[in-house]
Amino acid sequence: MEFSNNTTLKVLSDVLLELALSIGSQHSTHTLIQKSVPLLLKRLECNTCGLFRTKDDYIIENQFVVPGIFPSTVFFEKLKNTPIESEFNLDGQLCYFFRISKEEHLFLRRKTPFTKIQIKEVEPILYFLVNTLHNLEEKGKREKIEVEVKKLSLVASQSTNGVVITDVNGRLEWINQGFTKVSGWTLEEVKGKKPGEFLQGELTDPNTVKVMRESLLSKKGFDVEILNYNKAGIPYWIQIICNPLKDNEGNITGYMAIESDISIRKKYEAQLIKARNRAIEAQKAEENFLANMSHEIRTPLNAVIGMVSLLYETNLNEEQLDYIKTLDHSSSFLLGLISNVLDIQKIQSGNIEIVKSNINITAILDTILMSYEYRVKEKGLKVSVTKTENFPSRIISDKTILLQILNNLMSNAEKFTNSGEIGIRASQIHWKEKNALQLEVFDTGVGIATEKQKFLFKKFKQIHAPELTNTRGTGLGLAITKELVEVLDGEITVESILGEGTVFKVRVPIEVPENTANKYPKNDITLAPKNIFNDIKILVVEDNLMNQKFIVRLLNKLNIDLDLAENGTEAIEKANQEKYDVILMDIQLPDTNGFEVTKIIKNTENLNRETKIIALTASALGQDILKSQAVGMDDFLSKPFRPKDLLAKLENVLV
């Protein structure tokens, strides 16, 4: 039975209508590809449909293919290597490419050929399919953005923070409930106004307002804290973070600001500032007290220790010698106690300064050795200092701090050792990827029980041990030592066996100068031969009579010629009249202080502009040392001092 072409075309037009309705009714790319494309395959009797990105008539990649797995990888490779034509036969299948745009082709594959009429009728549906796909892709993107915008809108409207949006001129377009809650103003009341017109008041900082205004004029955001006034005129603090809003082309379309109420924080901040100022004042008072106390105690103590030293040089009977020894011991203990309290104060207040220099570490160790050999003579202890082969003679570190660390540890070793040996093992090591100095201070003393070792470095914790009834201290020595080691970025550890002895291991990073071994004398602390004091004259500037007496007696013993000045004015006068080799300058003088006197001597025309000046002061605070250096003093000696300390300083400046 034959049927007319009209019937066949009717079937085709119905098929196309059905496809158009299916494509048009899809709401997502997913359903379009999963529903309409398979329907298209069924109705058009095709077995494959794909949308390909193309370039220069070759396939680059597919955007979708139905069925999901392409006819075969072999077929697809062949297809990719075949230039695109509108119709061709490949592996017994008819391939049709419909050009959608320069870079897009829709592909159909079927067993039997389309008629020309069919191709003509089908083409619009295929374009419609691809257009719909792209529209749905765009729609999908827009919907995603809208969802995000909705979320953000919800966050903005529900936020307890104030959120405001202005136009490009800063006039309000939208505010959230958070803003109304804080300011009392509703959108109807403020729309079109600039926030500054109704939020700022007499105590609002004009500088902050200026920052905001200038930021907006230069089209930038800002982050400020400002005092605003609510509708009832009550001030409140807010933090405003404001950023420009931009369109797709990057043009500013307005501004969005988030305002957080920081009134409570500001209240606490004010309280904190007040408390901090009080604390600073209290600390300053404490520092002043300590400095004054230090000065007031050290000054007479200097005289006591000095006089005791001089008394040893006189003819004493046994009883007198015994009294003098007791006096010497007690005054030395008192000096140590004051020094420790001041050291802790210095460290805690951050006043300790690291002054790194090229120092002769070998000489320091030799000096310690000599010093302790003398001190432990009576106990019959052996003292040793050993160095490894590669140990450098010079290092760059803080000499004063290193000396104090070694003295503290050696003094500790000596204190708790009654027989055997104390000493130092020194080596250069690689530690924490740096050169480091390792100093092991050991003793064969009483040792420390393991459970007590953890208290060793605690302040005011002196280990209680029945066998040490004859030792006294503040319990600060090791705490200070630990702090000092840490000031040098080092660490201190302890190993000890009760009854056998203790080893304190100190590691501090150092620098080792290159090829300096012969540039410096081997021992920079060795007392100078006495002949360097011949034919020199010293000006002693000291107001305290006892100290005057001590220094004068000491210098006389060395046959050093001297002049005495009791205040700053007299010191300047004498400096103008005569050339001195050294000036010993007290700092706290009754008229002009020692720093000012030094400045005048060093900076005005007089005979002593080049004369070495050594500061003598009972103030042990770090800033005084710095200040003495700043005004041009050549060295610093802290009172109370022993004769040998003064001699060492004199030698230091005279050599």
Partner 1 sequence: MIKQIVKTSDTNSLQSALDQMVVQEEVKSVILYIGENFPFDTDALSYQLKSLSTTVIGGVFPEVIIDGQRSNDSAILLGLPYPMSYIVIDEFDERNILPKVTEGLKDHFEENCTFFVFIDALIRNKTILFDTLYNYYGSIPNYLGGGAGTLKFEPTPCVVTNEGILEGAALVASIPQKVTIGVAHGWSPISQPLKVTEVSNNEIISLDWKPVMDVYPSIVEEHSKEKFDYEDFYNCVKSYPIGIKKLNDNMTVRDPFKTENGRLFLLDDIEEGSYVQVLYGNINTLIEAARTARLQAEEKGKVSDNTFIIDCISRGLFMEEDFKNELKELDPLSNSFGALTLGEIANNGDEYLDVYNKTAVVGIFE
Stretch that binds partner 1, among 10-18, 81-89, 232-240, 626-634 (CB under 8 A): 10-18
Establish if 69 lies at the interface with partner 1 (CB under 8 A). yes
Across-strand partners of 236?
228
Instruction: Classify residue 501 by burial, with Cβ atoms within 10 Å: 0-12, 13-18, 19+.
Output: buried
Q: Which residues of 172-207 are buried (b: 16+ CB within 10 A; e: fewer)?
A: bebbbbbbbebbebeeeebeeeebeebbbeeebeee
Establish if 124 lies at the interface with partner 1 (CB under 8 A). no
Site for partner 1 (CB under 8 A): which residue of 67, 201, 499, 521? Answer: 67
Establish if 8 lies at the interface with partner 1 (CB under 8 A). yes
Amino acid at 147: V
Establish if 89 lies at the interface with partner 1 (CB under 8 A). no
CB of 122 to partner 1, least distance (A): 9
Q: What single DSSP character describes residue 381?
A: -
Site for partner 1 (CB under 8 A): which residue of 60, 74, 498, 630? Answer: 74
Of the pair 64, 237, the CB lying nearest partner 1 is at 64
Establish if 15 lies at the interface with partner 1 (CB under 8 A). yes
Stretch that binds partner 1, among 64-72, 152-160, 211-219, 605-613 (CB under 8 A): 64-72
CB of 14 to partner 1, least distance (A): 7
| 38 three-class SS | helix
Establish if 83 lies at the interface with partner 1 (CB under 8 A). no
CB of 135 to partner 1, least distance (A): 22
Site for partner 1 (CB under 8 A): which residue of 31, 63, 118, 215? Answer: 118
Site for partner 1 (CB under 8 A): which residue of 20, 28, 31, 38? Answer: 38
Helices (H), 97-235: 116-158, 177-183, 187-190, 195-199, 206-217
Site for partner 1 (CB under 8 A): which residue of 7, 169, 207, 218? Answer: 7
CB of 219 to partner 1, least distance (A): 52
Stretch that binds partner 1, among 44-52, 156-164, 412-420, 536-544 (CB under 8 A): 44-52
CB 623 within 8 A of CB 349: no
CB 633 within 8 A of CB 626: no
Q: What single DSSP character describes residue 33?
A: I
CB of 39 to partner 1, least distance (A): 9
Of the pair 34, 418, the CB lying nearest partner 1 is at 34
Q: Provide the sign of the torsion angle of the four alpha carbons 613, 618, 619, 620, taken in this order.
A: positive
Of the pair 21, 234, the CB lying nearest partner 1 is at 21
Establish if 111 lies at the interface with partner 1 (CB under 8 A). yes
Q: Provide the sign of the torsion angle of the four alpha carbons 534, 536, 537, 539, taken in this order.
A: negative
Establish if 41 lies at the interface with partner 1 (CB under 8 A). yes
Of the pair 14, 489, the CB lying nearest partner 1 is at 14
Amino acid at 627: K
Q: Which of residues 485-504 bind partner 1 (CB under 8 A)?
A: none
Distance CA 624, CA 603 (A): 20
**CA 174 → CA 185, 186, 196, 255, 503, distances in Å?**
12, 10, 15, 11, 74
Instruction: Please give the order of strands across the beta sheet that includes 434-443.
Output: 382-387, 421-431, 434-443, 501-509, 491-497
CB 587 within 8 A of CB 636: no
CB of 244 to partner 1, least distance (A): 47
Of the pair 91, 489, the CB lying nearest partner 1 is at 91
CB 320 within 8 A of CB 328: no
List the structure tokens of 276.
């901090």
Of the pair 111, 120, the CB lying nearest partner 1 is at 111
Strand bridging mode 537-541 / 561-565: parallel
**CA 494 → CA 135, 426, 556, distances in Å?**
77, 16, 47
Of the pair 69, 217, the CB lying nearest partner 1 is at 69
Of the pair 16, 290, the CB lying nearest partner 1 is at 16
Establish if 578 lies at the interface with partner 1 (CB under 8 A). no
CB of 56 to partner 1, least distance (A): 28
CB of 63 to partner 1, least distance (A): 16
Site for partner 1 (CB under 8 A): which residue of 18, 225, 328, 353? Answer: 18
- DSSP characters for 81-137? TSPP-SEEEETTEEEEEEEEETTEEEEEEESSPPPHHHHHHHHHHHHHHHHHHHHHH
Establish if 42 lies at the interface with partner 1 (CB under 8 A). yes
Establish if 26 lies at the interface with partner 1 (CB under 8 A). no
Of the pair 30, 267, the CB lying nearest partner 1 is at 30
Site for partner 1 (CB under 8 A): which residue of 5, 73, 207, 248? Answer: 73
Of the pair 19, 422, the CB lying nearest partner 1 is at 19
**CA 124 → CA 119, 362, 474, distances in Å?**
9, 98, 101
Establish if 112 lies at the interface with partner 1 (CB under 8 A). yes
CB of 110 to partner 1, least distance (A): 7
Amino acid at 59: I
φ, ψ of residue 210 to 5 degrees: the values are -65, -45
Q: What single DSSP character describes residue 533?
A: G
CB of 111 to partner 1, least distance (A): 4
Q: What single DSSP character describes residue 526?
A: S
Distance CA 510, CA 494 (A): 21
Site for partner 1 (CB under 8 A): which residue of 23, 32, 44, 303? Answer: 44
Of the pair 68, 206, the CB lying nearest partner 1 is at 68
Longest dimension (CA), the chain: 156
Let me know the angle formed at the C-alpha of 616 by 353 and 653, rounded to the nearest 5 degrees.
85
Of the pair 121, 421, the CB lying nearest partner 1 is at 121
Distance CA 169, CA 163 (A): 17
CB of 3 to partner 1, least distance (A): 6
Establish if 110 lies at the interface with partner 1 (CB under 8 A). yes
Site for partner 1 (CB under 8 A): which residue of 13, 24, 30, 47? Answer: 47
Site for partner 1 (CB under 8 A): which residue of 24, 27, 45, 279? Answer: 45
CB of 98 to partner 1, least distance (A): 16
CB of 22 to partner 1, least distance (A): 10
**Residues of the shown chain interacting with partner 1 in the complex, contacts defined by CB under 8 A:** 1, 3, 7-8, 10-12, 14-15, 18, 34, 38, 41-48, 66-74, 110-112, 118
